[in-house]
Chains A and B, each alone.
Chain A
C-alpha cells in the first residue's frame, strides 16, 4: 500500500494553489475578500469596511459590493473545483499557477437576490456548483452575516469555462 502523504505537505500544496488563485485577482484585494479552506470547502469573507456602505442612512452594504462579493466567491470556487483533481493527483505545477498563467471562467450572467439589508459587519459566502461541464457551469452562491441560516443575499450565475488544455 502506498504510504499516505504527510498532512503538512497536503495542506501546503492546497493552500499554495488557493492563495495563487486569490492573489492573482486584484479586485479581490480591492474589496477586501479572503478565503478560508477546510478540505475542499471554501468560505469567502468580505471584511467590513466603511467604503462598502451604499446607504449611509441605515447603514447598509452597497448592493454592488454584495454582488461583487458573491461573483468573486463563484469564480474562485469554480476555479478551485476545476483545479482540485489535477492538484490532488500532483499534475499541477504550483510555480506556473503562481506566475499568473491561470485562465479564469468568464461570467455569462449573474442574478442576485437581495433578501435583507447587508449589515455593517463581515459577510460570508459559499458557492455550490449546480453543474460544472466542460464548457459551461452553473453556480449558486449563498451569502450570510451573523447567522448561517439567515441569508442576506444569494445568487445564481452561468460561466464559460476556460479551454481545458490551456488551463495551466
Chain B
C-alpha cells in the first residue's frame, strides 16, 4: 500500500519470478496485474467516505496495453469516479517503473454495502 485517500488507492507489487506468465520473455502474468488492480479498486471503494467498510467486485475489465518490463515493480492507482448507494464505478491504471505508458488499464464496478456507511 503506497497511498490511500478519499476514493483513491495506490498499491504496488514487486517483481517476483513466481509471478512469471511467459517463460520465454519473463514477463509477469496478466492475472497478477489483474489481481493488483482488483485489490487497488476494492481499496479505493473502501476508502471512499460514502462507501461501507467492505466491498465485492461485480465486474472488472482489464485492457493490456503492453508487456510489463521484467524486473520492475508494478504500481496500480485506482479511483472511484462515481459512487451510488449500491455501486461504485472505478477506474484503475497499472504502470511499471517507466510511468509514461501504462501496462494496463481497468474499469470495474464494485458493490457498496448498504447500512454500513461510515458517515
3-29 of chain A: CB within 8 A of chain B: 24-27, 29
- A43 sits at the interface (CB 8 A): no
- B4 sits at the interface (CB 8 A): no
Contact A62 B64 (CB under 8 A): no
The distance from the CB of A78 to the nearest CB of chain B, in whole angstroms, is 13
Which secondary structure dominates where chain B touches chain A? Answer: mixed
A110 and B37 CA atoms in complex are apart in Å by: 13
95-123 of chain A: CB within 8 A of chain B: 100-104, 106-114, 117
Contact B32 A112 (CB under 8 A): no
The number of chain B residues touching the other chain, given as a range, is: 20 to 34
Residues of A within 8 A of B (CB): 24-27, 29-31, 54-55, 57, 60, 62-65, 67-69, 71-72, 75, 100-104, 106-114, 117
> Can you pick out 21 interface pairs between chain A and chain B where the beta carbons lie within 8 Å of each other?
A25-B29, A27-B20, A27-B32, A29-B18, A54-B42, A55-B54, A55-B56, A64-B37, A64-B39, A67-B62, A69-B31, A72-B31, A103-B24, A107-B62, A107-B64, A109-B64, A112-B57, A113-B59, A114-B56, A114-B57, A114-B59
16 additional contacts (CB under 8 A) given A25-B20, A55-B54: A25-B23, A27-B20, A27-B31, A27-B32, A30-B18, A54-B38, A60-B56, A67-B34, A67-B35, A71-B34, A102-B23, A107-B62, A109-B64, A110-B62, A112-B59, A112-B60
